[in-house]
């Protein structure tokens, strides 16, 4: 039961993190009209405003917690 719940939480956190990061990138590109700057966003810092950065930070946080939950799942319930 706990293994299934942790697996569900893992997937939800990873997908939510990716969606929030994509939303922040979309908001940045929409505001600046610089759609090529979205690719640069991953490599170096771009001038995001507070609202975009909040979505980006929350997305990265969700993604990192999802990865931690994945590691915990693999430690306690290894798939053979």
What does the pLDDT read at residue 69?
94
Q: Which residues form the domain of 24?
A: 17-75
Sequential pLDDT tens for the chain (80 residues): 878 888 899 999 999 999 999 999 899 889 988 888 777 777 777 788 899 889 999 999 999 999 999 999 999 988 75
Q: Residue 8 domain-assigned?
A: no
Over 37-77, what HEC string results? Answer: HHHHHHHCCCCCCHHHHHHHHHHHHHHHHHHHHHHHHHHHC
Q: Is residue 38 part of a domain?
A: yes
What's residue 80's pLDDT? Answer: 56
Do the domain assignments include residue 63? Answer: yes
Q: What is the domain count for the chain?
A: 1
Give the predicted TM-score (pTM) of the model: 0.83
1 belongs to a structural domain: no
Cβ(46)–Cβ(27) below 8 Å: no
Q: Is residue 6 part of a domain?
A: no
- Cα separation of 56 and 40, whole Å? 14
């Amino acid at each position: 039961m706990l293994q299934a719940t942790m697996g569900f939480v893992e997937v939800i956190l990873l997908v939510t993190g990716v969606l929030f990061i994509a939303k922040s990138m979309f908001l940045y590109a929409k505001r600046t009209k610089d759609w090529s700057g979205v690719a640069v966003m991953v490599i170096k810092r771009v001038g995001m405003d507070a609202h975009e950065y909040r979505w980006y930070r929350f997305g990265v946080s969700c993604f990192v917690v999802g990865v931690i939950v994945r590691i915990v799942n693999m430690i306690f319930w290894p798939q053979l």
